[in-house]
Amino acid sequence: MNSLEKLSGFVSKYMAVFVIVVAAIALFEPASFKWSASYITILLGVVMFGMGMTLKLSDFKLVFQRPKDVFVGALAQFTIMPFLAWLLATAFGLPADLAAGVILVGTCPGGTSSNVMTYLAKGDVALSVSMTMTTTILAPIVTPLLTWWLAGAWIEISLSAMMLSILKMVVAPIVLGIVLNTLFRSTVEKVVKVLPLVSVVSIVLIVGGVVAVSSQRILETGALIMVVVMLHNLLGYSCGFAIGKLLKMDIAKAKAVSIEVGMQNSGLATSLAMLHFGAAAAIPGAIFSVWHNISGSLAANYLAARMSKETLLEDDSEDADSDVAIATK
């Protein structure tokens, strides 16, 4: 078990590298990962089940203890990213299937890796987890409605079919994971440290499968989609942070909102696109999976450094205030 835990930690630490390597192999040797495209729905379910296994019923208390913070974060998630996706798809004149894929990325809930990135950024991890849970629970209704509203002009969308897909792939596995964690806590605690290994392997295979079946289209349009995906993600970080500061959140909360807004559940976007819109529509989600792991790490390092600088400034300010108070006595 110790060796598995070490392997899990290693794979999690270098997840971005593994995703890039697999994506490159799948792009130039599609046959090596085409087989995994048939299992994308199951693989996403495995990732969501792993997320559920790490949650307890008590984790949901924060949603009710800090409703304002969670509401602001969830609202930012489901307004900023969908609007940015629509704006970029329109501005770059993307083909219908790719436009729908970009918008689908924007309308999905926060990604599970955002919690890890928030921790590395020295942000409010509890708020990040609560936002992820809240937006994921709302996803079966909000994601299809927003996608239908924003992408309906490009592609035909079945609201009921998409809602059912999200319930099957996301909500059901998470609920099952929470139930098992509640009933068999001691057993789950023994295996939970190797869950990142399972999740990373699943995500890597999802990316590999999508890239493999869409390799030719990626080679034709990959540069354009990469630019759109990068702008979408980076603008999400910036707008999320700006909203946090505008509403006078402290720096830790603002970081959590920034990362949560910027990092989408691209696995869900990829799976939904494959099921409902076709392989080409899944390209933005696959590229987002590669890119946001890179940008998330960079953003976390930058924000962690910013926390240290602002803390020092605050300490200096407090010391100055104390000096003034003493001098006036």
Dump pLDDT digits (tens) for 264-289: 988 889 889 988 998 889 889 888 88
Report pTM. Answer: 0.85
Token pair for 181: 């964690």
pLDDT (0 to 100) of residue 324: 47
pLDDT (0 to 100) of residue 47: 85
Write down the mean pLDDT value for the chain: 85
pLDDT (0 to 100) of residue 308: 57
pLDDT (0 to 100) of residue 307: 62
Residue 133 has pLDDT above 70, yes or no: yes
Average pLDDT of span 141-170: 91
Q: At what angle do helices 67-91 and 125-151 cross, to 10 degrees?
A: 40
- The model's pLDDT over 195-236, given as tens digits with 9 standing for 90+, comes to 878 888 888 888 888 888 888 888 887 789 999 999 999 999
Residues with Cβ within 8 Å of 161's Cβ and at least 6 positions away in sequence, in order, are 276
pLDDT (0 to 100) of residue 60: 80
